[in-house]
Amino acid sequence: MSLGLVIDERFKAHDTGAGHPECPARLEHAQAAIERGRDAAQFCRPPLRAASIDDIERIHTLEYVRRAETACSEGAPFLDTPDVALSAASFDTALLAAGAGLTLADAMMAGDFKRGFALVRPPGHHAERSAAMGFCLFNNVAILARYLQQAHGMEKIAIVDWDVHHGNGTQHSFESDPSVLYVSLHQYPYYPGTGAYSETGTGAGRGATLNCPMPAGATNTAYERVFAEQVLPALERFAADCLIISAGFDAHQDDPLADVRLTTPAYRWMTERLVECAEHHGGGRVISMLEGGYHLDRLAECVAEHLEALRDKAR
């Protein structure tokens, strides 16, 4: 079975300005690595559709959505915080980024493939219900999770976020909801300051958040241990209908924005373990969406390894 892939030149229209680490070159390098890979032509590439405002409202307030739209149309240099740089095209590009997950979900549920990857920008996991943060406008994976539940009738969704920065926005979207398991491995203490081990959810959602804070200098071995002792057992117990990956590649040892020491093969290893887990529950369905990763060559290598692991298991 083929692997679904969303790549689109329009993601490059989100202009963050000179020197910003979340830049169009990230996608250019990653896309080049994908196209060089074996059997690149055999990916299933469903036509990308933008998310609707109704789709975005599954997670964000309408007031926030309109505020983001106005900021872009009026030429504001950023939204809410200077690291969320804007251009005139940023709002429409963010709708496309959120729509990429929905595009993969629809094609997956139509039987075109059972696993997919979206190479998108801007990223999403820091975006809160009514605030932009950390390069993120709309929370792509959170919007996807709710879409799978509300449009496709799935009951339980698991999100694994291995970006080196904690996905505060995703956690807050679901922390009181027992139907979505949020698992995060991230450098701690570090930006954005959330993600302590003690943060396990609230109310009915208590226990459906698993934070695995990792110290600066953590290596492949440390991640493998946490996967074996915490992440995989939690996923097995939860038995999700679909697994979503917030696939940031900035925990790589060469990434300039953090201090975790993963090597490129670690991303293949983590992907393989998650695919194996997904095969036990929910028919092996996995949708992965790009988050961070700011060393251009390492990002390209890690994305290629990630896709190989997703695809090889699908054959």
| Per-residue pLDDT tens digits of the chain, which is 315 residues long | 589 999 999 999 999 999 999 999 999 999 999 998 877 778 999 999 999 999 999 999 999 999 999 999 999 999 999 999 999 999 999 999 999 999 999 999 999 999 999 999 999 999 999 999 999 999 999 999 999 999 999 999 999 999 999 999 999 999 999 999 999 999 999 999 999 999 999 999 999 999 999 999 999 999 999 999 999 999 999 999 999 999 999 999 999 999 999 999 999 999 999 999 999 998 999 999 999 999 999 999 999 999 999 986 444
List Cβ neighbours of 221 (8 Å cut-off, separation of 6 or more).
Answer: none
**What's the whole-model pTM score?**
0.98
Buried b (16+ CB within 10 A) or exposed e, 225-245: ebbeebbbebbeebebbbbbb
Residue 21 neighbours by CB distance under 10 Å: 18
Residue 126 annotated to the active site: yes
Tell me whether residue 4 is in a domain: no
Tell me whether residue 105 is in a domain: yes
Please report the pLDDT score of residue 314 as a whole number: 43
In sign, the C-alpha dihedral spanning 161, 166, 170, 172 is: positive
Tell me whether residue 53 is in a domain: yes
Please tell me the distance from the alpha carbon of residue 59 to that of residue 10, in angstroms, as a whole number: 23
Domain that holds residue 101: 9-312
Structural contact between residues 265 and 220, judged by C-beta atoms closer than 8 angstroms: yes
207: CATH: 3.40.800.20
Residue bearing tokens 């149309």:
73
CA 314 to the chain's CA centroid: 20
Tell me whether residue 41 is in a domain: yes
User: Three-state SS for 99?
Assistant: helix
* Catalytic residue (choose from 14, 60, 126, 306): 126
Tell me whether residue 3 is in a domain: no
Tell me whether residue 1 is in a domain: no
Please count the structural domains in the chain. Answer: 1
Q: Which amino acid is at 213?
A: P
